[in-house]
Each structure stands twice: as structure tokens, then as C-alpha cells.
Amino acid sequence: MEIETIDVDEQIGEVRTILRESDKKRGILIHALQKIQEDYGYLPEDVLRKLSSKLDISLAEIYSVASFYKMFYFTPRGKKIVKVCLGTACYVRGSKKVLNTLEEEFGIKDGETTPDLALTLETVGCFGCCGLAPVTVINEEVIGEIGPKKLEGIINSLKEREEDEAE
Ligand code: FES
């Protein structure tokens, strides 16, 4: 093909169309991933496979996009998400002890979920409420100034909820 015969406008037009199509798919993909996670609490592989064929995007690309965002999870999570802050203010006020105690009580480590899917334990860098250190958030509930007594209350309440749900 001679350089002079290339119709630049036509070529750019095609590229624009392609870009628009891929942008559209990517936009739909993120939204679909959010919806799947909302419904399942994580991104199950079999659902991602269906999404892959529906949107005609490879499974590898879906995983690549999803793993870019910290908000997506690839394994089931607990009904209660317990997040212990290990930021500096919380750390110096004993949040590591809070984490260690919760790990021992529920037999899971940071990032793990109990086998009955009742509880997931996670750590964060800072919740932005350092004045309440040490802070732990259980689902949306912020619990600050956690001393030994409060920690005992948190553990009892989490265990009670576990038992209630098992009944
Ligand atoms: S360091 Fe824990 S809330 Fe900021």
C-alpha cells in the first residue's frame, strides 16, 4: 500500500470506533463486576466465565481488570467483615494486640475467613479517625478506643451473632 493512498480520516475513524467499543465494554465490565460482587460478596469464577462469553472479553482480561481494583475479591468473604486498623496512631495504642487476640479467638489470620463464612478478618492502614485509636470497624460500625474490656465485648458480640446465625 502506497503511503499516499492511505485515507487518514477513514483510518482514524476506524480507530475511534474500535476505541469507543472497547471503552464501552470496559465501562460495562466494571459495572458488571460491581453488581456480581454485590450479589455474591465476591467474584465467583463460574460467573466470571459467563460474563466473559457474554461480553466477549477474555477471562484473563477480566481477572486483570478486576485485580487492579482493591475493592474486588476472588474468594468468599464472611458475613461480618472485621477490619483492624494498623496505622501508626492505632498501632502505638495497641491495635496489634487487638488483631492478635481476634486471630487467636477465631482461628484465622489477617485476610482469612472462618470456614463457616461468619467472619473475615482484615487490616487497614488508617480509617481517618485516629483520635479514636485503636480503631476496628465491623461492617459499617466504627468502634474506637478499644481497651481489653471493649475487646472482650466485641469478641462476645461476634460469637453471639455467630451462634444466632447458626441456629
Ligand atoms: S491510624 Fe487508625 S484510624 Fe488512623
Ligand 1 midpoint to CA 126 (Å): 4
Instruction: Output the pLDDT for position 122.
Output: 96
Summarize pLDDT for 34-63 with one digit per residue, the tens: 999 999 989 999 999 999 998 889 999 999
Ligand 1 midpoint to CA 160 (Å): 27
Split at pLDDT 50, 70, 90, the class of 16 is low
Q: How far apart are CA 111 and CA 77, in angstroms?
A: 10
Q: How far apart are CA 41 and CA 33, in angstroms?
A: 11
Instruction: Output the pLDDT for position 145.
Output: 98
Q: Give the binding-site residues of ligand 1, using a 6 Å CB cut-off.
A: 85, 87-90, 126-127, 129-130, 133, 135
Summarize pLDDT for 90-118 with one digit per residue, the tens: 999 999 999 999 999 999 999 999 999 99
Ligand 1 midpoint to CA 91 (Å): 8
Strands lying side by side in the sheet with 136-138: 119-124, 80-85, 136-138, 141-143
**What does pTM read for this prediction?**
0.74
Domains and CATH numbers, the chain: 3-68 (no CATH), 80-166 (3.40.30.10)
Mutating to test ligand 1, I would choose from 124, 130, 146 the residue with most ligand atoms within 8 A of its C-beta, which is 130
Query: Does residue 167 have a pLDDT over 80?
Result: no
Instruction: Output the pLDDT for position 23.
Output: 73
